[in-house]
Amino acid sequence: MSTLRVKIAVLLVVAIVSVVGVLTAVVFYMFPPPKPDHQIAQLAQQVETLARLARNAPASASLSAAPAADQTDDVMTKWLRAALAERGTPLDVTVTLPTKDRGGIISIPVTPNGWLLTPMSGPPPHSGRWRILLRWLFLITVGATAIAVFAARRMVRPLALLENAVAAVGPDATLPVLPERGPAEVRATAKALNSLSSRLKAAMESRMRLVAAAGHDLRTPITRMRLRAEFVENDEDRALWLRDLDEMERIADSAILLVREESAKAPPEFIRLDALVADIVDELKSQGHDIALLHSTAATVRTGRLALARALRNIMINAATHGQRAQVDIASDAQNARIIIIDEGPGIAPHLLGRVFEPFFRADPARRQHIPGAGLGLTIANEIIQRAGGTIEIANGSNGGLVQIVTLPQAAESSAA
């Protein structure tokens, strides 16, 4: 009942059935059917006339030796005998119920051994007109429902197309081009969304060019400053200058790398995720990081190998450096593969968890200056994972530390082969 399609269909059904029901009730009120007593009286008159004609000309009447053998309608038989008695012509007539092959039959005794069998006409079944009215409304409801469902689907189809198009927004936050067809309002909406998508794409490309240009242009003054810092006589001051220049160079390189990741269009390939994670863990161990692969389950994903390796490496380095020690676990099911990374660090304040993917974000900049980095590792990793159709979840562990869960859609093993 929450969708617009269902609401429109229900509204149409209620409107159609209500109008037909009211009109039918008005017609019943203005043109009521004959009363049963009047109908029975007319039927009794017909039976009396037929009996008189059969007695006067028995040769022309086709008489039966016995009344109709079908089941007797006791109510109609009683009513008809009473009506004949009131007319002064008491006859022991019998009325049989309608069958599948024929209607009701009136058996009229003409002679002691002869019966005139005539079809019953006139009065409706004694089940009542209200039952007929309910059946009529039921048929109207069924027909109105079919029409309403068809009309509602046609009416909301353009809106469904817009909804599906908006839901198909890619990881780069740009909208797909919408077909500008349908009613005037839908065409205007699609045109406005297409224009918005074009402006968003242009703004994002301009932002990326600006970041890349700034990162590239920073390298020249950094190089000049590094040359000048080498001539600083005081060893302590020279070390401080060089450390700050290294930090600036990492920031510039990370900004350029972020632009490359957002604009890269590397073709996807099938990757054994468990093997890739094992290689990265071994690589980080050889570099002196305290990290271990506890459990591994076979999993296959489809994305760019270099980009995915860079993303997972950034996440694991983040856990091994800021979390002092990292443990990696790989789990998978038929739909998804999950990489769970747990560290033993101090975690992140709950009110800052929603900002971990922001560029240049540091949870504790005052106490973490001795750890190299520009604050773009998780930002780049998040861009890569989202482009691969996955997600990254970060939360504080129940016993301290940080828990990072990377979820990626699993590719079919047959396709990987």
pLDDT of residue 368: 47
Q: How many other CB atoms are there within 10 angstroms of residue 100's CB atom? A: 4
Provide CATH 1.10.287 ranges for the chain.
173-263
How does pLDDT run across 286-311, given as a tens digit for each residue? 988 899 999 888 999 998 888 888 88
Please tell me the number of Cα atoms within 13 Å of 47 on its side-chain side.
35
Class of the 266-416 domain? Answer: alpha beta
pLDDT of residue 73: 82
pLDDT of residue 208: 67
Report residues of the chain scoring pLDDT below 50: 124-127, 366-370, 414-417
pLDDT of residue 342: 92
Judge residue 267's burial from the number of C-beta atoms within 10 Å of its C-beta, 0-12 exposed, 13-18 middle, 19 or more buried. Answer: exposed
How does pLDDT run across 203-248, given as a tens digit for each residue? 777 766 766 676 677 777 888 888 888 888 888 888 888 887 877 7
pLDDT of residue 34: 59
Class of the 173-263 domain? Answer: mainly alpha
Which residue, among 43, 29, 22, has the nearest Cα to 126 in the 3D structure? 43
How does pLDDT run across 183-209, given as a tens digit for each residue? 777 778 778 878 887 887 777 777 667
Provide CATH 3.30.565.10 ranges for the chain.
266-416
